[in-house]
Each structure stands twice: as C-alpha cells, then as structure tokens.
Amino acid sequence: MGKLILGVAVVGLACAAHAAWHWGFETGNVGWVVADLTTGGPYHPPVAIYSVSHSTSGGCQGGYILRADPSNRSFSFSLPVNQLPDGHDWSGGRLDFCLRSTHQTWTQEPFVVFVGGNGTELRAPVPLPGTQWSSYRVDLLPGNLLDAQGLTPDEEHFQAVMQQLEAVYIMAEYGAQVQETSGLDEVRLRAACPEALDEPVVQAQVAGTPETPVVELQWTEVPGAWGYTVWRAVDGSWLQVGETTGTAWVLTPGAAETALFRVRAFCD
C-alpha cells in the first residue's frame, strides 16, 4: 500500500457568532453549588446554599457533580451566572445538560427555573430523570416556558428574564423523602444563532500503520458553533461520517491511498 494522502476542505455554515458556555466537570465543580429552594416556589432567592461533590468518572461524559438531598425543601443545581457576560440576551438560545437521580417519587417539580430582573421567574418543564443519565435540551423560546401560574409568558415577561438573567436552577429534587442523590453533567448554555460562522481551522495527521492507517482531525473552536459535522469524499460526493460538540475526530479510512475530508460548523 502507498502512503495515505490527505486532503482537508474547510466549510463554515451560515448561522450565529456568540460563544457557548460549557461546564463538563472534568476537574471540579467549576463554580456550581446546590441551591435549596422553597417547595412550590417562588424559587428565588434560595433558602440556603450548599456545596456539591465531584466525581472524576462515571458521568454522562467523564467527571460530574452530585449532591445528596440536604433538606425537606426542593434542592437544585445552581448555574454560576457570574461567569456569564452582563446584559446578554439569551432569547432563542439553548440549555443542554445531563441529569440523573436515584429516586423518582417526587414528580411535582421536574423543570428548570430561569430568574430574571426583579425576581421574575419562568419554568421549563422537563421529563423526570432516571437512575441512568438522561440528556436534556431546553430551547429558550416563549412556547417552551411557563410562568408561576402555568401559562405561556407574553413577550414582555419572556424578555424580562432572558435579557437580565439572574439565576438558573436545574431542579434535583426527585425523592418524596429526604433520600435521593442527584447528578449533573455536560451543561451547555448557548446563545442564539447569529448570521455567519467563522471557518474552523482544521489540521489532519495520519497515525497507525500503513496497513491500518488512522486519520486524526483537529480544529479550532468556532465562536457560536453548537457542533461540528465531519464529512468524507466518497465516489465524487460528500458523506457525513460523524457529528460532535468537540473539536477532534478520529477516522479509519481503510486501504484507500487518498482521502479527502471536511469539517462543517453548525448552529441550529
């Protein structure tokens, strides 16, 4: 077999240009705490603040944070909003996370609470977590949120929260008694898609052996991108071979002597 020759094409997609804030909990709690809230609300301000524990493995991906129920109130994981830019408008953005709990006997508060100016609250209903990791996606649109009366907020109420975000509480209270332990991982808060994405700068190298080569692709993070798709040229057309929120991908091109790949950034 001859030497594997690589080609890399770089393509950006039309979309947004703000960064995503990601907490993967690989090295610690990175500013997250547990906020103990008044059961049934209003949820802000918290009644008490507690620390969280950290595990280096066993998460949705790698490390994660966890906490045993600290009281007979409703506890939650509190996003460190002090790490976010002041005055940012989150309308049209998205919150992703992984969640699990040892119990599912308290079913009255499965949601995320968003708090805006003057304590204005909105709630995003989510499915009950299981004992295994569940992935969640909350699109920050009025139709996905409810006010304290269980009604869809009007535009003024929605913007009062999204344009002045003071707190985000991911509920962890899923046991009818003081009994459950809940875990959280892979939290991403993303801004709305902008108008145009930059192109990722892609580097490729060949590893492995001549008989079984391995192609390692790496690229720079694109501000505003929510993820990346990896493509390979096959018989004169492009075939998508992968999708990731990271900035690297490994492929095995087989016995081919030439291979052409491209990476596309997307935001939707």
So what's the pLDDT on residue 18? Answer: 41
Alpha carbon distance 106, 178 (integer Å): 10
DSSP 199: P
Q: Is 140 helix (H, G, I), strand (E, B) or coil?
A: coil
Torsion from C-alpha of 252, 259, 196, 141, nearest 10 degrees: -30
Task: Let me know how many helices (H) and strands (E) the chain has, helices first.
Answer: 1, 19
So what's the pLDDT on residue 11? Answer: 41
pLDDT (average), residues 187-206: 84
Q: Cα Rg for the chain, rounded, in angstroms?
A: 22
Instruction: Identify which has the larger pLDDT, 268 or 201.
Output: 201
pLDDT (average), residues 94-104: 97
Mean pLDDT computed over every residue of the chain: 88
Q: Looking at domain 20-190, does it have CATH number 2.60.120.260?
A: yes
Question: What tokens appear for 30 in the block?
Answer: 């990175």
Alpha carbon distance 81, 128 (integer Å): 24
The answer to whether the 5-17+195-266 and 20-190 domains have the same CATH topology is: no
User: For residue 193, is pLDDT > 80?
Assistant: no
Architecture, CATH, for domain 5-17+195-266? Sandwich (2.60)
Alpha carbon distance 182, 77 (integer Å): 9
Alpha carbon distance 77, 237 (integer Å): 46
**Backbone dihedral angles phi then psi of residue 129, each to the nearest 5 degrees:** -75, 155
Tens of pLDDT, residue by residue over 201-257, are 888 888 877 777 888 999 988 877 878 999 988 888 899 999 998 899 998 876 666
Q: Distances from the Cα of 219 to the Cαs of 23, 97, 267, in angstroms?
A: 20, 24, 16
Tens of pLDDT, residue by residue over 129-187, are 999 999 999 999 999 999 999 999 999 999 999 999 999 999 999 999 999 999 999 99
So what's the pLDDT on residue 87? Answer: 85
Instruction: Identify which has the larger pLDDT, 237 or 52.
Output: 52
Q: What is the DSSP string of 50-89?
A: E--EEESSSSSSS-EEEEE--SSSEEEEE--GGGSPTT--
Cα angle at 85 between 13 and 49, to 5 degrees?
A: 125
Which sequence spans correspond to the domains of the chain? 5-17+195-266, 20-190
